[in-house]
Amino acid sequence: MTNDLRSVSISNVRYMALTFIVSLAFGIFFPLKISIATEYQIYSYHNVPPFVVSDNKGLSHDLVNYLNRHGNKRFQFKLKILPRKRLDNLLKANSDIIIPWVSPDWFGSDAKTRFEWTAPLISDGNVYFSRKDRSIEVKSMGDLEDLLLGGVLGHRYARIDNEVAKGAFSRMNAPHERNLIKMVVGKRVDIGLMAESSARYLVWEEKLSEEIYFSTYKHSIFLRRFLVSGYLPQVREFLDSMILRMKDDPEWAAIKSRYQLPIEIN
């Protein structure tokens, strides 16, 4: 009886060892092609149209969905909207994060070398807009003299704040971009200033194209890119490859058309 049990135990051990060896060899010569996409967080502080137009809708959401459709089972992204101050804290900690729609000029003098930057996603700029019944062209700061300029609360505009401090003209702030459009239409300010991407989308959405005039001359022009913080070289390469693809992709062109985006790079 004991010998029989011993024989069975030895046989089991030999069987298990043989099974392990066969499995190992099979894995070496016929590796299973199973890949699980790595998930990355995309943080954005742009919570205004066209980037966010309602819950889970907007250009930022469409961008993330587009990237996920073409992630080749290697990359998956999740979008999180958070205030700029919280984002700055994450950057100070050198966290591995990705931020869309931004320019190096907005993150300090060392931003170009401190962070990784992709090729431009879109070109944008700050534009002046007024009522068509009193259309205003702004070629220089002198054209704003004695006018009441509307801006967005918390936004800084090059040269504008200095001229306001000198008393060359006055500035009134709106809490949000949508409110600023209404201030111009309602004649509470003479002229407004905001990002062209937001202004053109809101004018289209509010059906105000017959009432709003956009100055031919922009206040500024800038390129919106991805900022990549931490050490994510493969992500940076993937994003750049996707931006290159976007230029001739009808799918991306259809996404852009939903938001009345200004003339842009891709």
pLDDT in tens, 138-151: 999 999 999 999 99
Look at 89 and 27; give whichever has higher pLDDT: 89
What is the DSSP code (8-state) at residue 54?
B
Look at 189 and 24; give whichever has higher pLDDT: 189
Tell me which H or E stretch contains 14: helix 2-29
What is the average pLDDT score of the chain?
88
Helices (H), 138-261: 160-166, 177-185, 196-205, 233-246, 250-257
Split at pLDDT 50, 70, 90, the class of 14 is low
What's the pLDDT tens digit per position in 43-84?
A: 999 999 999 999 899 999 999 999 999 998 899 999 999 999
Q: What is the pLDDT of residue 72?
A: 84
What would the mean pLDDT of 90-107 be, rounded to a whole number? 95
Q: 2-6, 128-132, 165-169, 180-184: lowest mean pLDDT where? A: 2-6
Neighbours of 121 (CB within 10 A): 22
Apex 258 CA angle, 57 and 116, nearest 5: 70
Q: What is the pLDDT of residue 86?
A: 96
**Peptide bond preceding 100: is omega within 30 degrees of 0, i.e. cis?**
no
Percent of the chain whose predicted confidence (pLDDT) is above 90: 79
CA distance 58 to 49: 7
Split at pLDDT 50, 70, 90, the class of 266 is low
What is the DSSP code (8-state) at residue 177?
H
Total-model pTM: 0.82
What is the DSSP code (8-state) at residue 263?
S
